Amino acid sequence: MGQDVVWLLIEAIHNSLLIGLIVATIGTVAGVFVGLLAGFTGGGLDRVLTVVTDTFIVIPSLPILILMTSFMKGTSTVFVMALVLAMFAWAWPSRQIRSMALSMRERDFIHTAWFSGEGTVQVVITEILPYALTWALSNFMNATLAAIASETSLAVLGLSPGNLISLGNMIQWARDRNAIFTKQWFWIGSPIIATAVMFVGLFLLITGYNDYLARKRGR
């Protein structure tokens, strides 16, 4: 490709991480908002939001992602790719936050807050949101990992926009140009190793955070 592999690798790591962080941010924020809105208000709004959420959960995301990325060949940016992946990143968090809100709104301290004159918005922000944010941080890290995995998988399959420099596209470019057979090990090996290190690092971060939460709850 006429470009330094090191600089491509640095840009690819940056873009892959940026995609993961954007997807995780959109998915987590939207999931927390929709879940709290559905679980705490109840009634018809809860039923409508639950149907929409369940629809996005059961829809097979891979064929839709493949279809959408095929229309973006050579025209995508990091932000556009992240928006496409974020379409399905909010549904599971929303369902889990809704269950949390349904459980917590019947707690004694919530009723006490209402009886003391606090409004619904104030109760949600001061009493429920802190619990939701603790869980949301764990989901944020999981969503980052899942988004990077999705983009990398699409790219390796040749379904990611070819103009986007990412770890998956680096692997795809090396494969297309027979880097293995021409023994260009650094070209094919560096993005694979970088992806593996990133995945292991995020996994250890998630595991450590969940262990910390478990110990904190056990006190």
Domain ranges of the chain: 5-218
The two three-digit tokens of residue 13, written as one number: 């790591």
Whole-number CA gyration radius for the chain: 21
- Assigned CATH topology for domain 5-218: MetI-like fold (1.10.3720)
The stretches of 59-128 forming alpha helices (DSSP H) are 61-70, 78-86, 91-104, 108-115, 120-123
Residue type at 182 in one-letter notation: T
- The fraction of the chain above a pLDDT of 90, given in percent, is 10
Q: How many CA atoms lie within 13 A of 205 on its CB side?
A: 15
pLDDT-above-70 percentage for the chain:
93
Contact 65, 82 (CB under 8 A): no
pLDDT in tens, 171-211: 888 887 777 777 788 888 888 899 899 888 888 888 887 78
What is the Cα–Cα distance from 126 to 196, expressed in whole angstroms?
40
Q: What is the largest CA-CA distance in the chain?
A: 74
Quick one: pLDDT at residue 106? 76
Least Cα distance to 164 among 42, 69, 47, 66 occurs for 69
Does the predicted TM-score (pTM) go above 0.95?
A: no
Average pLDDT over residues 79-83: 84
DSSP state of 126: I
Distance, in Å, from the CA atom of 173 to the CA atom of 195, rounded to the nearest integer, reads 15
Give dist(CA 122, CA 181) in Å, integer. Answer: 63
Nearest-10 Cα torsion for 22, 174, 6, 150:
20
d(CA 125, CA 120): 9
**Mean pLDDT, residues 125-139 taken together:** 78
